[in-house]
Amino acid sequence: MTDRITLSVIKADVGGYVGHSSIHTDLIETAKEKLSNAQEKGMLIDFHVTRCGDDLELIMTHKHGVDAENIHKLAWNTFVACTEVAKELKLYGAGQDLLSDAFTGTVKGMGPGVAEMEFEERKSEPIVIFMADKTSPGAWNLPLYEIFADPFNTAGLVIDPTMHDGFIFEVVDVYEHKKITFSCPEEIYDLLMFIGAMRRFIIRAVYRKDGMIAAAASTQKLSLIAGKYVGKDDPVLIVRCQAGLPAVGEVLEPFAFSHIVEGWMRGSHHGPLMPVAFYEANPSRFDGPPRVIAAGFQLCNGKLIGPRDLFDDPAFDEARRKANEIADYLRHHGPFEPHRLGLEDLEYTTMDQLMKKLEGRFQPE
Ligand code: F6R
Ligand code: MG
Ligand code: MG
């Protein structure tokens, strides 16, 4: 136990309604009941249950620190209970993100995505939690770079003396299971060389130079965890805002540009990341295009005051319109790259089978 507050966002897809497009309300209700029991027992200070597409999102505050076994177990048991409901209703892909039958001390490496941070709550603590569906953790690289290192996005980097020193990025190599930090702005060219390759190098956290944590992202990639495709690794991201950190508007600003991410149909296509209001987070066209929602909270002694639906703003209409235009343009490529991902990144493929079947028909050219 510590005096500091921990904010844990733990998510999983434990059953879709209909197909992979959304979530049945019974799952939300079940999750609320489980977390409410934990709150009554004093384990949680507060919680909020929501969803983005087919992903169930558990937002929890507590005093147990990051990677706390009891909190991870609570999330796991909640997902198991929701899986039971999903099975009863024969919802699609019931339990798909729970890769094990038993809990072994952490949800990390077991399917769910996790973003957590522990900090001292400031005089006022505005927080934005981003949640995405039909994409993967590399989707946060570009916006995180813009928020914390791009002066064309974040005016505060230039004109606020408390932000002028810049930020430190922690980057994970998800293939090699290694991490490295870059200090910016001094090392932005080095940083960009890595994070531009957003399949392999993923920003996990951002710190102010005095060590204060500013952002934390989920970096779990299900396809790497399971060694084969078992569902999408739809990511979450926590960003603290204001007063020496980027303003809420600076944190949202990168999403006014619908950048191209991997995911969408069968986790095997490039598509635009569309910022939407909560009620629009139901990717249905070609199982997409990929969506992102932004839930704003003010923390008050660990209580989650909110959420405010931050993309429910006509100022993001143009990003949505552009995303539809880009979606149309990419869709016209059908099975051709770069709409379809490169061979090595496909999460569904018939290539091995075809190569075997057609082996004898290949002739020297
Ligand atoms: C993408 C996603 C969906 C499914 C697709 C096929 O992340 O979840 O696009 O890949 O609907 O699903 P299955 O193979 O279960 O029929
Ligand atoms: Mg699903
Ligand atoms: Mg999903």
Domain boundary pick from 120, 153, 184: 120
Mutate to test the pocket of ligand 1, among 52, 262, 266 (most ligand atoms within 8 A of CB): 266
The secondary structure of 21-34 as a DSSP string is S---HHHHHHHHHH
Of 69, 89, 120, the residue at which a domain comes to its end is 120
CB 128 within 8 A of CB 308: no
Q: Given a cut of 50, is residue 197 above it in pLDDT? A: yes
| Residues 135 and 71 grouped into a single domain | no
Beta partners for residue 16, in sequence order:
92
262 and 331 inside one domain: yes
Burial 209-231 (b: 16+ CB within 10 A, else e): eeeebbbbbbbbbbbebeeeebb
What's 342's DSSP letter?
Answer: P
Range of the domain at 78: 1-120
Number of domains into which the chain is organized: 2
Tokens at 258, concatenated: 């619908």
Give me ligand 1 centre to Cα 94, in Å. 13
Whether 363 is covered by a domain: the verdict is no
pLDDT tens column, 46-97? 999 999 999 999 999 999 999 999 999 999 999 999 999 999 999 998 988 8
Q: Is 113 in the same domain as 243?
A: no
d(CA 162, CA 267): 41
Mark whether 26 is an active-site residue.
no
State whether 201 and 338 are in the same domain.
Answer: yes
- Whether 362 is in a domain gets the answer no
Report which of 92, 98, 91 is spatially closest to residue 72, judged by C-alpha positions.
98
CA–CA distance from 72 to each of 10, 14, 35, 155 (Å)? 8, 16, 12, 38
Say whether both 87 and 134 belong to one domain: no
Give the helix/strand (H/E) hosting 320: helix 317-331
Distance 22 CA to ligand 3 centre (A): 8
Q: Give the chain's mean pLDDT.
A: 94
Question: Would residue 329 show up in a list of annotated catalytic residues for this protein?
Answer: no
65 in a structural domain = yes
Q: Which ligand is nearest to the CA of 56?
A: 3
Q: 232 catalytic, yes or no?
A: yes
Cβ atoms < 10 Å from Cβ of 343: 9
Same-domain check for residues 231 and 346? yes
Closest ligand 1 atom, residue 287 Cα: 9
**Same domain membership, residue 225 and residue 109:** no
* 215-226 confidence digits (pLDDT tens): 999 987 766 666
Of the CA atoms within 13 Å of residue 195, those in its CB half-sphere come to 30
Lining residues, ligand 1, CB within 6 Å: 19-20, 93, 134, 232, 263, 265-267, 287
Tell the burial category of 269 from Cβ atoms under 10 Å away from its Cβ (0-12, 13-18, 19+): buried
Based on the fold, state whether residues 103 and 197 are members of the same structural domain. no
Say which of 229, 312, 322, 345 is annotated catalytic. 229
CATH number at residue 8: 3.30.70
Q: Which of 75, 59, 119 minimizes the C-alpha distance to 240?
A: 119
pLDDT(328) > 70: yes
pLDDT above 90 (res 332): yes
Tell me what pLDDT residue 1 has: 47
The CA 43 to ligand 3 mean position distance, Å, reads: 28
Helix pair angle (188-195, 141-149), 10° resolution: 170
Question: What is the number of the ligand 1 atom nearest to the C-alpha of 92?
Answer: 15
Give the residue, by CA position, lying nearest to ligand 1 atom 5.
266
Q: Does residue 300 share a domain with residue 263?
A: yes
User: pLDDT digit string (tens) for 117-164?
Assistant: 999 999 999 999 999 999 999 999 999 999 999 999 999 999 999 999
